[in-house]
A and B are shown apart, each in its own frame.
Chain A
């Protein structure tokens, strides 16, 4: 059913008038032009489409727009503050934690939610939380390193 759905997108109030059963992934990518969020499988099996909804990592390919009504949605485009890269983005760059880069936005968003829940994850914690994000290029080893590195930076001296 076509209706108006309001939510916060990357910190800004946003409203779309759409069939609210449509999946968030496509509304973000096509209606709103935020193409950083990627399609990889469409059935919650790869994590390429991961975004944050109220700071939880969700698979936007299977999240109807109506489910984010009045919620806070953050995509990869909204992660850096005023042009300053988020520590995770920096750590991915410094660890060369990517090749083709197609899985990268989903990886970073999933890692963001992970670090919010668990600011000092062990490698085993990281593996467990990242297990549903696929990378065909095989950047896994460096992604784990990058997340650890970002955790240290975000944690500061704590």
Chain B
């Protein structure tokens, strides 16, 4: 632990060209608390596992500053894309430091100002970053109390802090503000051991529903997204795109495009970009390019993809196993065997991938819609052949990510154009490009064989997941003989599997896994003639899940009946990012059209300590609404590498008329560690709707989306 009480003059922060070391030097006086997530022994366990990158620097991960003005600034590499950390992280700091919420400023994702961070995904902000931040805040508060004790000549034990002021409990007259305490000092601390954080009974800010802090900028149109960055001399680049993945450019004629006034054209091999000071004029010029491509015929399309995937699937990796499947089969009174399918899904954030790159004096400044600013920084450095420290990435507001903005192709394209033209360049993908280059949620196949004994107990469970990814594949029921194998553990497939790029999609893997598992549980329940909720209870030793299911059932007013009851009720549960979630839905199926109207969804969640119940509720509502899409309509159609759904006219995402009555319950678990909140509720949406459809009309859809055509077909088959 270092302490430096020397006076250091505050320098103003000027220009964009400052690296972090300079920045730290220039930050003037105040109390600085640094912390490294991977180095905090009390968080080790959670950070390790497949996500921990070997390159985690020994440098700190984040820091906070309490300045002379009493304001608290938190510098973190996490980004805000709508999921709400700009509010919830500030709440955690305000709580531990006893300052008003609006005294806390969040500086997020700027790679020059903020310490390295692997990226904003995996619901890790609240689960892993949050606790570290609270500890840092608590330790900073301790430092302030010690300073105040010296300053006021009162023992720490007599001091209380409130709204950024420390006072003597015995004589309210003796008081000193944080600003006064830090004035002219520079105190640096590294968080190395747990500090004494507030107990839930002491919470004033944590757990209090708090409105978004960025809302004003967003409702007035002043919030800047990457595409809103306009620099002097900047040009917009539109790139020539192949008609299909894997297509090769054979021949190109640029002559007509060149005639458009003010355009500049880059032509380097098959990298062809049209640049203009107006994006729409660049687009118009691009449309004048005549290009011939060779389109390979792979024969793979959205109906043959499942056979193809099974053919190329690697051996399974054991995710979980126990007992002896043979024994379980012997004990079963009946066995059910099903295959579940899920097609490719687009992320389709309303803001397409966008980036602005400006290169000046060998240094690049990048504004980008990205969930991984530090990844983008390295990628740009590589593309430009400069050192990473000469690249600064600034993520403005991000217009939705859902996992899709972990990939930064648009940033590299903008960097390349900026380098070749010597001008600041903006690359803003069109909706077509967004669909074409999306890293889709992978198509996947899941095969389950299971059996049940006389008393409705599941005796065995054999589960194979192909290509969805293994998150959410391990079942949590109390099954004596079970085996879960993941054939391709990740949402990214090996060469030769997916015909285009795939990647993480909100709660990656878990949507598909939970759909299969929870539908299959219902198949068994129906076959056993037991109410699906009761069937789950009989097979759940996990009390936590039982309580979550009960909370949903109470809110819904669940009355037991075996399915199909004709009522259109469905239930499903799952675990994601440490959070337990259960949902019950009511649907209506129009037998003549196959259309499904989801009328009501009740969703209960045990997510441990909730920092901002308002934010957590919004995330649940968002998950439920977004989840309607993949369950009922969303599916990327493609043929030989050609993406057939390239805009919202054919790729349907949820609309106002789809939205059911949504009711959410968050279990009060203040004493438990906080868990993820931005993803869990979406994982149950496929199964809860599938099970409700079965309950309504007695047909099972084993393939998502459960579109009207597929439902009609299933009804015809009976």
Contact = CB atoms under 8 A, between A and B. Distances in A.
Interface centre among A25, A138, A141 (most CB of B within 10 A): A138
B1 interface: no
A99 B216 contact: no
A40 interface: yes
Interface string A129-148: 01101111111111110000
Contact of B212 (A26, A29, A98): A98
Nearest to B221: A36
A126 B656 contact: yes
Interface residues of B, number: 58
Given A30-B277, A45-B647, A136-B349, A102 B400 contact: yes
**How many interface residues does chain A have, given as a range?**
35 or more
Interface in B598-637: 614, 618, 621-626
Interface string B269-309: 00000000111110000000000000000000000000000
Contacts of A81: none
B222 interface: yes
A44 B430 CA distance: 13
B402 interface: yes
Contacts of A142: 618, 621
A69 B81 CA distance: 37
B277 A42 contact: no
B230 interface: yes
A141 B625 contact: yes
B230 A30 contact: yes
A144 B656 CA distance: 9
Contacts of B216: 85, 93
Contacts of B351: 38, 40, 100, 102
A76 B654 contact: no
B230 A96 contact: no
Given A42-B430, A76-B220, A137 B281 contact: no
Interface in B197-231: 211-212, 214-225, 227-228, 230
Given A102-B350, A141-B621, A141-B625, A96 B219 contact: no
Contact of A131 (B225, B397, B648, B657): B657
A80 interface: yes
B595 to A, nearest CB: 15
Contact of A100 (B82, B221, B621): B82
B552 interface: no
A37 B618 CA distance: 24
Given A41-B647, A76-B221, A137-B622, A35 B228 contact: yes
A68 interface: no
A130 B656 CA distance: 7
B239 to A, nearest CB: 16
B31 interface: no
A31 B278 CA distance: 8
B406 to A, nearest CB: 16
Interface string B78-90: 0001111000000
Contacts of B236: 30
A78 to B, nearest CB: 9
A139 B278 contact: no
A20 interface: no
Contact of B400 (A34, A96, A136): A136
B659 interface: yes
A75 B351 CA distance: 18
Interface centre among B219, B227, B278, B349 (most CB of A within 10 A): B219
A43 B430 CA distance: 11
B398 A35 contact: no
A10 B222 CA distance: 15
Contact of B659 (A29, A128, A141): A141
Nearest to B348: A136
Interface in A5-38: 19, 22-23, 25-26, 29-31, 33-38
> Closest 4 interchain pairs by CB?
A36-B221, A100-B82, A138-B625, A102-B399
15 contacts: A34-B221, A35-B228, A41-B647, A42-B431, A42-B647, A48-B350, A85-B216, A85-B219, A93-B212, A96-B211, A100-B351, A100-B398, A101-B82, A127-B659, A139-B625
Interface of A: 19, 22-23, 25-26, 29-31, 33-43, 45-46, 48, 75-77, 79-80, 85, 88-90, 92-94, 96, 98-105, 108, 126-128, 130-131, 133-144
Given A25-B280, A41-B647, A77-B221, 14 more contacts: A22-B281, A26-B278, A36-B220, A37-B221, A40-B350, A42-B430, A76-B220, A76-B221, A85-B219, A98-B82, A99-B618, A102-B351, A108-B219, A139-B621
